[in-house]
Structure 1
Amino acid sequence: MLKFRPHHVMCTFAFQGYGYSQSFVENYQEIVSKLPECKIEVVKGLDQICSACPKIQHNRCVKQDTVLELDKKHMQILEIEIGQVLTWNEAVEKIRRKMSLSKFEYACQGCSCKPHGMCKNALLKLIEEKEVV
């Protein structure tokens, strides 16, 4: 089972192989490769994605207040809870049903990756697919 902090559900959905460092990207790619078979558990605080992040110092994110706020907003919007276990398909379905562009703008406010547009583009693609069906 993989452990994800709440906002990492959206981050992982949009992951395209970029990140803070080569070791961070390699760790993330390994995690993503396991998603079809593994369940994810929503956890409070550091998770397996954080384990290779260069922004972790003394068992805390250097942007602790920001990531806690990201987690809080994603939990509200996606209606997930600490301790909840989901398949990756269930997690993506939560994004599909519950995350809109306006909610994304709110939920990801303050995220350093947001200006790059990868998450927004992934969400737009998902919304487009939903409208076609």
Structure 2
Amino acid sequence: MTVRLRPHHLLCMLTFIGKGYTEAFTENYVRIAARLSDGEDILVVEGPDDICAPLLDEPDPHCWRKSVTDRDERARKAVEALLGRPAGPGAVICPDAEFLARMRDAFAAGTIRKACHRCEWSALCTNVASSGYDGVLVAATQG
């Protein structure tokens, strides 16, 4: 199986420490973090993904808003520039230790954070990154 993620969630997963919009959202994200930590591949998708799923039954879910799709585009471009390969819809990414380290180094340096502009979680993510990613739930297992 694969975890379906929209491009900006490639950034969000780097700092996820178990906080989210709702209890259902957070519980779902914790399960996804475990799958990613176990090395399940990521399939990059357009629009709402596996992380968004618990929010889609809300009236006017933000997952469909232009501000979020714009965030996806900025994240896609940043990740592609960093990795030197496609990171848009249809791309398959293995969240192994090398990938996570490279992404986290760039995130902490601020070089892939244009998509984070005006995100309500940005300060939390900055704090997590500055702590050396202490307590993150997506971490490649050593096999």
State the TM-score bracket (shorter-chain normalisation): 0.7 to 0.9
Cα distance, 1:92 vs structure 2: 1.9
Aligned to 1:122: 128
> Greater relative contact order (Cα 8 A, min sep 6): structure 1 or 2?
2
Contact 2:44 2:92 in 1 (8 A): yes
Alpha-carbon deviations, 1:59-90, whole Å to 9, x = none? x5366111111101110111022110011126
- Kindly indicate whether residue 5 of structure 2 is the aligned counterpart of residue 4 of structure 1: yes
**Residues 1:97 and 1:62: Cα distance change in structure 2 (over 3 Å):** closer
Unaligned 5+ segments in structure 2 are: 81-86, 134-143
Structure 1: distance between partners of 2:71 and 2:7: 8
Question: Normalised by the size of structure 1, how large is the TM-score?
Answer: 0.78
Structure 2: distance between partners of 1:95 and 1:32: 16
Q: How many residues align?
A: 122
Structure 2: distance between partners of 1:113 and 1:5: 17
Picking from 104, 108, 121, the partner of 2:116 is 108
Q: CA RMSD in A?
A: 2.4
Structure 1: distance between partners of 2:57 and 2:12: 16
SS of equivalent residue, structure 2 residue 47: coil
Identity of aligned residues (%): 28
Aligned to 2:52: 50
Cα distance, 1:14 vs structure 2: 0.6
Unaligned 5+ segments in structure 1 are: 127-133
Question: Normalised by the size of structure 2, how large is the TM-score?
Answer: 0.73
